């Protein structure tokens, strides 16, 4: 299982998801506290953010463990945005370890991460192609087909999870996506937590021990925008 996290609110750096919190994604890569499947997330990592200089997000992903990239701390300290997403990966058995299998996947302004596993046959019919044979890449491709058809972020995630969950009852489908102005996340088989202050943090597990973290119940969709946060059944 992987761990992922996103922020929507006043501009912050990616270090606020990875290095600064006591249990940020760096710590979660080698000592996750709530991970149900797998013990370590050392099969790569990725992050994405938005900058006024580009219409599309900036995305950085590697196949090395997050602690092994000596250039990352400085980069994460200056990658600042009001919408951020990052993930550390523990590859599912049989899945390739390559950059194209590593979240965040991106298309247009959308960034997407998957925490879980699914039989690829359950999603292959939803997209023509994917950038990797990894199950997560196929899920991302399925979501992006819906993006191009104009579906809102939350609808796109909910439709793909409903389809894949019906075809593969053993699937775990925690998806986390953002578009620069909103975040959508599904809870389907693994943990997800929210923290609201001057924005919203969405993370597989709490990034710190501050009060206010709430666990989102299984089989729910989280929608966060500047108007607020909604949690609704999938």
Residue from 46, 48, 65, 116 touching ligand GLN (CB under 6 A): that is 116
Positions annotated as catalytic residues are 2
Min dist. Cβ of residue 48 to ligand GLN (A): 16
Residues in the chain: 234
**By C-beta, is 13 or 102 nearer to ligand GLN?**
102
Q: Are the beta carbons of 113 and 126 closer than 8 angstroms?
A: no
Residue from 95, 158, 207, 216 touching ligand GLN (CB under 6 A): that is 95
Residue from 16, 92, 106, 191 touching ligand GLN (CB under 6 A): that is 92
Judged by CB under 6 A, the stretch of 66-74, 87-95, 160-168, 220-228 that binds ligand GLN is 87-95
**By C-beta, is 13 or 28 nearer to ligand GLN?**
28
Q: Does 136 bind ligand GLN (CB under 6 A)?
A: yes
Q: Does 191 bind ligand GLN (CB under 6 A)?
A: no
Q: Does 12 bind ligand GLN (CB under 6 A)?
A: no
Judged by CB under 6 A, the stretch of 52-60, 115-123, 181-189, 191-199 that binds ligand GLN is 115-123
Residue 223 is encoded by which pair of tokens?
């929608």
CA-based radius of gyration for the chain: 16
Map the footprint of ligand GLN across residues 31-60, applying CB under 6 A. Answer: 38
Half-sphere exposure of 124 (CA within 13 A, CB side): 6
**By C-beta, is 61 or 117 nearer to ligand GLN?**
117
What SS3 string covers the chain?
Answer: CCEEEEEEEEEEECHHHHCCCCCCHHHHHHCCCCCCCCCCCCCCEEEEECCCCCCCCEEEEECCCHHHCCCHHHHHHHCEEEEEEEEECCCCCCCCCCHHHCCCEEECCEEEEEEEECCHHHCHHHCCCCCCCCHHHHHHHHHHHHHHCCCCHHHHHHHHHHHHHHHCCCCEEEEEEECCCCEEEEECCCCCEEEECCEEEEECCCCCCCCCCEECCCCEEEEEECCEEEEEEC
Task: In whole angstroms, give the CA distance from residue 220 to residue 109.
Answer: 24
Q: Does 66 bind ligand GLN (CB under 6 A)?
A: no
Q: Does 1 bind ligand GLN (CB under 6 A)?
A: yes
**By C-beta, is 38 or 152 nearer to ligand GLN?**
38
Residue from 12, 61, 117, 195 touching ligand GLN (CB under 6 A): that is 117
Residue from 79, 81, 90, 186 touching ligand GLN (CB under 6 A): that is 90
Binding site for ligand GLN (CB under 6 A): 1-2, 38, 89-92, 95, 101, 114-117, 134-136
């Amino acid at each position: 299982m992987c761990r992922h996290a996103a922020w929507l609110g006043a501009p912050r750096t990616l270090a606020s998801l990875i290095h600064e919190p006591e249990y940020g994604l760096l710590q979660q890569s080698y000592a996750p506290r709530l991970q149900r499947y797998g013990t370590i997330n050392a099969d790569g990592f990725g992050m994405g953010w938005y900058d006024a200089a580009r219409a599309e997000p900036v995305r950085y992903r590697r196949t090395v463990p997050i602690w092994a990239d000596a250039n990352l701390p400085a980069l994460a300290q200056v990658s600042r945005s009001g919408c951020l997403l990052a993930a550390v990966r523990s590859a599912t058995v049989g899945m390739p370890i390559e950059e194209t299998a590593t979240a965040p996947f991106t298309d247009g302004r959308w960034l997407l991460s998957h925490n879980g596993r699914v039989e690829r046959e359950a999603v292959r019919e939803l997209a023509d192609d994917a950038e990797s044979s990894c199950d997560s890449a196929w899920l991302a491709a399925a979501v992006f087909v819906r993006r191009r058809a104009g579906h809102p972020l939350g609808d796109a995630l909910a439709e793909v999870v409903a389809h894949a969950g019906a075809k593969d009852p053993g699937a775990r489908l925690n998806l986390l996506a953002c578009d620069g102005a909103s975040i959508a996340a599904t809870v389907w088989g693994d943990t997800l937590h929210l923290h609201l202050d001057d924005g919203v943090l969405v993370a597989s597990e709490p990034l710190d021990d501050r009060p206010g973290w709430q666990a989102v119940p299984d089989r729910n969709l989280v929608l966060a925008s500047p108007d607020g946060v909604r949690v609704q059944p999938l």
